[in-house]
Amino acid sequence: MTSTRPLFAARLGTSLAFGVVGFLFAVWLVHIPAVQSATGVSKGELGTALLALGLGSIVGMQVGGSVIARFGARWPLLVGHLIMVVTLLGPALAGGLWTLMVALLLFGIGNGLADVAMNAEAVEVERDKGKAIMSSMHAFFSVGTAVGAAYGWLVQTLALPTLISFVIASGLGLVAAGIAAALIPSRSAEPEPTTAEMMIAARVPDATVGERPKRAVPISQILLLALLGFVFMLAEGVASDWSALHAVEELGTSEATGAIAYGAFAVSMTAARFVIDLVVRRFGAVAVVRYGSIIAAIGLGVVVLSPGFWLALVGWMVFALGIAGVVPQIFTAAGNLPVRKRAVLLARIVGAGYIGLLSGPAIIGWVAGVTGLNGALLVPLLLCVLGVVGASSVRPSDRPTAA
């Protein structure tokens, strides 16, 4: 794929695209209590509505994979942004459960489409640049969520109506999405793999080489990437949903103090993602996944065994430092597999990650009901061990230079 704009502009535009998605999603999250109150839905009904958002995200990702493989990522990314901007207004206009579900389903479709498109474009920019940059792209998503949360705090402090707040956020998102689209280059459809790549992928013998042919992308690697995406996005979601509650229920802090736990995790995650790319360039993606998994498991171990809040806070920060670079390397590996329509495969693996992110709170909640929250946190701790075992799946596939 040949870029029609400077590589710096492509990177800047893609980074901004990550920030837009994070900002719009965070604006929705901080307004959930207000929307619940306005629509009159119960907590159980709200959970059902949130499932509609998750379903829409997964649908948007799968549709997006096929569209990106055919047309490139720029236009699907812009469409995803536009859907998010428009449908963000939906929850404020909803009059009950069913209208809220429809609004969140559509918002989720836009989120899913934008998510897979921005990751696909990040893979292309990374490939053009010739060095790891995916983690810093994901850091801009975190920055976007922080800006969205700050915006939510501001408008709620000013007591602005939810609809007005969403209209302003949509306007800001629209402007930023337009700038991102202008910076991201137009690219042709996804190129077909080379003859050499396809010969290996199809196990076609090379007449010039008398060795037994091997598959460049074994199905086990694809499945392992999907499994790791599921596991580590589940683990990441655990910190988002349970860190503050763990501090309150297990360590006896106040709710205000407990909120510091998630804040420390989020800040550590964002900061780490801005420097992880340097580590990848120095030691490789496999090392980042393998040792990051170990560090993440140690961090959760500290949380589980901690007798007090401040040591647990250190544990959450260590967990963030370990897990920060894992998911970006999984997505990079998926987006670079030498297969036809690699964007479709990327969408499948990103979708598997989202299933983990969405199902994680429920899984931890079920286990916590039996063992307590400390016991439930052993689940993501043990799952992190899979990263040690499966780290080799992110190693770039060998691509011969001649058939």
Do 162 and 224 fall into the same domain? no
Model pLDDT for residues 87-103, shown as the tens digit of each residue: 999 999 988 889 999 99
Give me the CATH number covering residue 133: 1.20.1250.20
Do 84 and 176 fall into the same domain? yes
Model pLDDT for residues 339-386, shown as the tens digit of each residue: 777 778 888 888 888 888 877 777 887 888 888 888 889 999 999 988
Model pLDDT for residues 305-320, shown as the tens digit of each residue: 988 889 999 999 999 9
Burial tier of 171 (Cβ tally within 10 Å: 0-12, 13-18, 19+)? exposed
d(Cα 134, Cα 280) in Å, to the nearest integer?
10
Do 289 and 388 fall into the same domain? yes
Model pLDDT for residues 37-71, shown as the tens digit of each residue: 888 888 778 777 888 888 898 899 888 888 888 88
Q: How many domains does the chain have?
A: 2
> Given a cut of 70, is residue 188 above it in pLDDT?
no
Do 298 and 175 fall into the same domain? no
Question: What pLDDT is recorded for position 216?
Answer: 55
Position with higher pLDDT, 4 vs 179: 179
d(Cα 185, Cα 167) in Å, to the nearest integer?
29
**Assigned domain for 273 exists:** yes
Question: What pLDDT is recorded for position 237?
Answer: 82
Question: What pLDDT is recorded for position 189?
Answer: 54
Question: What pLDDT is recorded for position 17?
Answer: 94
> Given a cut of 60, is residue 214 above it in pLDDT?
no
Residue 316: domain span: 195-205+214-394
Give 22-44 as a DSSP string: HHHHHHHHHTHHHHHHHHT--HH
> Given a cut of 60, is residue 399 above it in pLDDT?
no
Q: Fill in the DSSP letter of residue 253.
A: -
Do 100 and 225 fall into the same domain? no
Cα→Cα distances 384→66, 78, 232, 323, Å: 31, 34, 7, 9
> Given a cut of 60, is residue 126 above it in pLDDT?
yes
- Would you place residue 168 in the very low, low, confident or very high pLDDT band (cuts 50, 70, 90)? very high
Do 169 and 221 fall into the same domain? no
Do 138 and 70 fall into the same domain? yes
What's the whole-number average pLDDT of the chain? 83
Model pLDDT for residues 280-306, shown as the tens digit of each residue: 989 988 999 999 999 999 999 999 998
**Assigned domain for 382 exists:** yes
Query: Which residues are within 8 A (CB) of 118 and not within 5 positions of it... i.e. 6 or more apart?
Result: 14, 17, 18, 21, 73, 77, 137
Percent pLDDT > 70 in the chain is 88
Residue pair 10/184 in contact by the 8 Å Cβ criterion: yes
Residue pair 232/206 in contact by the 8 Å Cβ criterion: no
How big is the CA angle at 158 (ends 155 and 160), to the nearest 5 degrees? 65
Task: Work out the number of other CB atoms within 10 angstroms of the CB of residue 96.
Answer: 11
| pTM of this structure | 0.80
Buried b (16+ CB within 10 A) or exposed e, 174-209: bebbeebbebbbebeebeebeebbbbbbeeeeeeee
- Would you place residue 156 in the very low, low, confident or very high pLDDT band (cuts 50, 70, 90)? confident
Q: Which has the minimum average pLDDT: 73-77, 246-250, 253-257, 289-293?
A: 253-257
Conformation bin of residue 192: beta by default, left when phi > 0, alpha when psi is -120 to 50: beta
Percent pLDDT > 90 in the chain is 30
Residue pair 216/198 in contact by the 8 Å Cβ criterion: no
Q: Which of 104-113, 153-162, 209-218, 234-243 has the highest mean pLDDT?
A: 104-113
Query: Which residues are within 8 A (CB) of 73 and not within 5 positions of it... i.e. 6 or more apart?
Result: 117, 118, 120, 121, 124, 184, 187, 343
